[in-house]
Amino acid sequence: MKLLIGNRNYSTWSLRPWLVLKHFGISFEDEVLQLSGDGWRDVLAQRSPTGKVPVLLDGDLVVPETIAIIEYLADRFPDKAIWPTDIGQRALARAAAAEMHAGFTSLRSHAPMNLRASHPGKVSVDSVAKDLHRLETLWGDLLTRSGGPFLFGDFTAADAMFAPVATRIRTYALPVSDLAAGYVEAIYALPAFQDWLAQALHEPWIVDDDEIDVIQGRVKPGTLA
C-alpha cells in the first residue's frame, strides 16, 4: 500500500490520511509529489486521476480524495476503530469531518498551513473570526462530551481531519479558548503527528502560494529561501 502525498510542510489533505495510516499502525509507504517547480502539475496529472494529492494505491486500486481514502481504510481495517465504534458517535464524527471538508474556507484561504513557520499577528483575526467561533463551538461540545483529549476521547479520523486547522492556530497564534488550545496541544503531542512534523521541518522546498509573506505581498515570489 502506498500513499502519494504533497509537500509535508503545506499539504493539508495529504496529512489527514497519512495520520490515519500511521496512528493506526497500517503498513504503508509514502511518496512525495512536489507542489511546485518545473512541470509539477504534469507529474500530478500522470500519477493522480484528479491531478491532486493524496492518492492511495492498494494493488491495482487507485483511490483519490482524502475522505474516500479514510473510508476505504475504515472498511479495509474494521478492527482499527478509525471511526468511533458507537453508531451515534460515529455519525457525529463523520458529520464533523464532512463539515471540515466543505467548510472553514476563511481559515484555509487566509491562514495556509505552514509547519516550518511562525507568523503571529500576520493573519487578521476579523478575517477568520467566524470560522474560529464555529471551531470553538464544535470542538467545545465534542471535547466536553468525550472528556478529551481528542474529539471522541481516543484519536479518530475526525481528529485527522482537523489536524491541519490545529497547526494554523499555532502557526499564526490565533486566539482560542483554553479548551481549544489544549486540543491543539493534543494533536501536536500525537506520535504520528510528531513523525510528520519532523519530516516537514527538514523539507527544503518552498511553495510560494502557501507562504503568507508572499500572499500578503511582503516578499516577491521566488525570493524565499
What domains appear along the chain, each with residue ranges and CATH number?
Answer: 2-80 (3.40.30.10), 87-196 (1.20.1050.10)
The model's confidence at residue 220, banded by pLDDT at 50, 70 and 90, is very high
Average pLDDT over residues 93-112: 97
CA distance 189 to 153: 15
What is the DSSP track for 74-134?
A: HHH-GGG-SS-SSHHHHHHHHHHHHHHHH--HHHHHHS---TT---TT-S-HHHHHHHHHH
The reported pLDDT for the residue numbered 178 is 98
| pLDDT tens digits along 21-71 | 999 999 999 999 999 999 999 999 999 999 999 999 999 999 999 999 999
The reported pLDDT for the residue numbered 225 is 73
Amino acid identity, position 113: M
- Are 196 and 15 contacting, i.e. CB atoms less than 8 angstroms apart? yes
Average pLDDT over residues 193-203: 98
- Are 101 and 190 contacting, i.e. CB atoms less than 8 angstroms apart? no
| Cell of residue 5, nine digits | 502525498
The reported pLDDT for the residue numbered 105 is 96
The model's confidence at residue 203, banded by pLDDT at 50, 70 and 90, is very high
Summary mean pLDDT of the chain: 97
pLDDT > 90 fraction of the chain, expressed in percent and rounded: 99
The model's confidence at residue 123, banded by pLDDT at 50, 70 and 90, is very high
Helix axes 12-23, 66-76, angle to 10 degrees: 10
Output the furthest CA–CA distance in the chain (Å, rounded): 51
Using DSSP bridges, classify how beta strands 2-5 and 29-32 pair: parallel, antiparallel or unpaired.
parallel
| pLDDT tens digits along 69-91 | 999 999 999 999 999 999 999 99
The reported pLDDT for the residue numbered 93 is 98
Beta strands, E only, the chain: 2-5, 29-32, 55-58, 61-64
